[in-house]
Structure 1
């Protein structure tokens, strides 16, 4: 059974595109773990992706999007807990292949939660005016630069 594409409100499309980059990142870690790639190369890539993509993405969601919901939602709490859990994993010094596996598994789970459940809640809860305000805040997708040392291939 396949999951049909979800019609995403234009205010959330940049976040969804960033999620796509996050899934590519997770897949690269998965391939690196499978081939037992050099841990230092994986660490450099993970640190770069965390600092330049995931952390700003999480901050934007937590500081600008989630507060617009104005209420207690379990899905929002779950997403924030996953953000915190990922932060802890990224802060591990001298990560092992098992640590990278935990990172990519949790990131994949997190992106599925947001794309399949939380964003649907946001689209059905926020008004068009609120979504337009958020769209102005997040005008463009953060692009993901090409990594010069592909350990995953």
Structure 2
């Protein structure tokens, strides 16, 4: 059995990895909502909020500042860009449990790919100046939660 060792992440990429952790939590929240038979529109409303406030800014940082380190023609970057395009069409209009489950699956797979393959490659080739620039552009984009409807929590 292959052992999954913790990934060593460059300090410059850690804020993006923290974003990825929040994305994985989004997947968990979607799946929890479906399992608890929460109205899909409640879940979709949260997903739309998360998409607008966290995913889109994250995609922009990656596309403008991270992916160019490898070059936009690099095979891993092309895959990531294709997945970003897919999520831009898949996430905002979701409204059924099936589409929510699909969105969670696609997002989780994408995050795992970026963390395990793309970011690993970027760390190998990025110059200190490129890493410094990546770290600088992510300043001030801390995660904040939408407390309007915490559907994933147990109701008392």
Task: Give the TM-score of the pair, scaled to structure 2.
Answer: 0.90
Q: Equivalent residue of 1:84, what SS?
A: helix
Q: Is residue 43 of structure 2 the alignment partner of residue 42 of structure 1? A: yes
Partner of 1:97: 97
Tell me the distance in 1 between the aligned counterparts of 2:143 and 2:73.
32
Root-mean-square deviation (CA, aligned residues, Å) is: 1.6
Number of paired residues? 152
- Report how far residue 75 of structure 1 moved: 1.1
| 1:136 alignment partner in structure 2 | 136
Displacement of 1:87 after TM fit?
Answer: 1.1
**Runs (5+) with no aligned partner, structure 2:** none
Residue 111 (structure 1) shift? 0.4
Provide Cα deviations, 1:56-107, integer angstroms capped at 9, x if missing partner.
Answer: 10111112211232352211111111111111112326x1100000110011
Q: Please name the residue that 2:106 is paired with.
A: 106
Distance 2:18 2:50 in 1: 15
For the pair 1:51 / 2:52, whether they are aligned, the reply is: yes
Provide the residue aligned with 1:24 in structure 2: 25
State the Cα distance separating 1:130 from its structure 2 match: 1.4
Q: Is the counterpart of residue 60 in structure 1 residue 61 in structure 2?
A: yes
User: Which of 1 and 2 has higher RCO (CA within 8 Å, sep 6+)?
Assistant: 1
Partner of 1:151: 151
* Secondary structure of the corresponding residue to residue 60 of structure 1: helix
Write 1 or 2 for the structure with the bigger share of helix: 1
Q: Deviations over 1:28-57 (max 9, x none)?
A: 001112222112211210110000000110
Does 2:84 match 1:83? yes
Distance in 1 separating the partners of 2:10 and 2:69: 15
2:71 corresponds in structure 1 to 70
5+ long unaligned stretches in structure 1: none
4+ aligned runs moved over 4 Å, structure 1: none
Q: Which residue of 2 aligns with 1:6?
A: 7
